[in-house]
Amino acid sequence: MKHCTRCLYPDTKPDLSFDSEGVCSACNSFDLRKIVDWDKREKGFKDIVWQHKSKDYDCIVPVSGGKDSTYQVIKLKQLGFNPLAVTACTDSLTPLGRRNLDNIRTLGVDHIEVATNPVIRRKINRIALENIGDISWPEHVAIFTIPVRIAAQLGVKLIVWGECPQNEYGGPAADNKTLDRKWLEEFGGLLGLRVSDLVGQDGISEKDLIQYQYPQDVSGVTGVFLGHYFPWDGLENFIVASAHGFECKPIPVEGSLACYENLDNYQTGIHDYFKYLKFGFGRATDIACNHIRRGRLTRASALEMVKAHDGQFPARCHGRPLEEIIAEIGVDRKQFDRIVKRFRNKKVFAEC
C-alpha cells in the first residue's frame, strides 16, 4: 500500500487519485478551498433557496441527528430560512442517537421521521452484509431516497444535504454542488447492489422496497451540498452543534478517534470494520486525515493514533456485544467470522 505524502490515505481507497508529488485528491480538493470566494458562495446559496422556496417550507434538510445535520439546521435557521427536517430512521438506534434526534426539533423546526419496515430492513442488512460486505447498505440508500420522496410528496423544491463526500474524502466530481439520481447511482456508495436485485430474495417483494426507491417524478426538485457553499469542518460543526444541545460520548467511539460522530447506530462499528477489511483503512484514518489537512495533527502523531485505533475488531459497538447486534439480523458469530474472512483483502493484509 502506498500512502498520500501529506495525509494517511492509501492508494487502496476507491476513486482516490494522486498527483506527481504523491499528494491525494482529497488533500488537493481541500487546498482549493483556500482560493474560494466564500462570500460569493454564501450569496449563491441564499439565491438558490430564494429561487426554490415553496409555499410552506423553504427546503428540506435531511437529518440523522448527528453533529453535521444539527449544524445544517442551525445554519439554515441563522440564515433566516424555514427548513423541514426529515429523518430516514437508522438501523439500530442508540439512546444517545435518540436524544440527539429529539434535540433537532428544539432548534425550532418541524421534523418528520420515516421508519421503514424493520422485518424487511433486517433482511436487507443481512443480504447486504453477506453479498457486498456492507451491513449499512439499506441505511445508505434510504437516507438518500426518503428525503427526496418527501420533497416530491410535499411539493418542496430544494433539499440541502451536508458535505460533498467526494470533496471531503477525495474522488471524482469533487466540485459537484448538486445531488440527484445520477449522483446517487454513480457516487452514492451502492457497491453494485441495486434495489431491484433484492426482489425475490428471502421473500422480499417489490412492495417491501417502496421507501428505497428513488421517486419517478422529481421534476423541479434540486439537491445541493451545504459544504459547497460554506467551509465544511466536522469538528467545527460539532462545536457549533454542542452549543445547541448536541450530545457526544465521553470517550471516542470504538475503532475511531472521535467522540462526536457515528453515535446513533449500533451497526456502524461493523460497517467501518468491513471498510478496513476491504481497503486496509478505517474511520480513524478518515478523521486523522481531516485533522492533518486542517493543521490540527501532524502526520507522524496521526499515524501513531491510527495504528492504535484503526481496524479494531468490533467486539462491542457503543458498549453492546457484537453477537447481540448481529443476532438482530439473523447472523451468528460463526457466520459472521466466515463473512469477515471472505471480505478480508488478501492483497492488503498479506503485505502487512
| Burial grade of 154 (CB within 10 A; 0-12, 13-18, 19 or more) | middle
Amino acid letter, residue 106: T
Binding mask 331-350 for Zn ion (x = CB under 5 A): --------------------
Query: At closest approach, how far in Å is the CB of 44 from Zn ion?
Result: 28
- SS3 of 157, please? coil
C-alpha cell at 262: 457515528
- With CA atoms as reference, report the closest residue to 141 among 162, 125, 130: 125
Instruction: Report if residue 302 touches Zn ion, rule: CB under 5 A.
Output: no
Cβ proximity to Zn ion: between 87 and 285 the closer is 285
Stretch that binds Zn ion, among 1-9, 135-143, 196-204, 239-247 (CB under 5 A): 1-9
Q: What is d(CA 263, CA 163) in angstroms, rounded to the nearest whole number?
A: 18
Residue 117 main-chain phi, psi, to 5 deg: -50, 115
Q: What is d(CA 41, CA 204) in angstroms, rounded to the nearest whole number?
A: 45
Cβ proximity to Zn ion: between 24 and 85 the closer is 24
Query: At closest approach, how far in Å is the CB of 36 from Zn ion?
Result: 19
Instruction: Report if residue 101 touches Zn ion, rule: CB under 5 A.
Output: no
Cβ proximity to Zn ion: between 27 and 179 the closer is 27
Query: At closest approach, how far in Å is the CB of 146 from Zn ion?
Result: 33
Cβ proximity to Zn ion: between 27 and 101 the closer is 27
Query: Looking only at residues 21 through 60 of this chain, which bind Zn ion when binding is defined by CB under 5 A?
Result: 24, 27
**Contact assessment for residue 149 and residue 141, using Cβ atoms and an 8 Å cutoff:** no
Instruction: Report if residue 7 touches Zn ion, rule: CB under 5 A.
Output: yes
C-alpha cell at 287: 478523521
Size of residue set near Zn ion by CB under 5 A: 6
Sort strands 83-88 and 110-114 into parallel, antiparallel or unpaired. parallel
| Burial grade of 258 (CB within 10 A; 0-12, 13-18, 19 or more) | buried
Binding mask 120-149 for Zn ion (x = CB under 5 A): ------------------------------
Cβ proximity to Zn ion: between 27 and 84 the closer is 27
Q: At 87, which helix (H) or strand (E)?
A: strand 83-88
Stretch that binds Zn ion, among 2-10, 136-144, 195-203, 224-232 (CB under 5 A): 2-10
Query: At closest approach, how far in Å is the CB of 293 from Zn ion?
Result: 7
Amino acid letter, residue 310: D
Instruction: Report if residue 4 touches Zn ion, rule: CB under 5 A.
Output: yes
Q: What is d(CA 179, CA 160) in angstroms, rounded to the nearest whole number?
A: 9
Cβ proximity to Zn ion: between 25 and 267 the closer is 25
CA angle 186, 145, 183 (to 5 degrees): 20
Instruction: Report if residue 61 touches Zn ion, rule: CB under 5 A.
Output: no
Cβ proximity to Zn ion: between 6 and 318 the closer is 6
Radius of gyration of the chain from its Cα atoms, rounded to whole angstroms? 20
**Contact assessment for residue 281 and residue 310, using Cβ atoms and an 8 Å cutoff:** yes
Query: At closest approach, how far in Å is the CB of 257 from Zn ion?
Result: 17
Cβ proximity to Zn ion: between 94 and 167 the closer is 167
Which residue's beta carbon is nearest to the bound Zn ion? Answer: 4
Q: Which residues bind Zn ion (CB under 5 A)?
A: 4, 6-7, 9, 24, 27
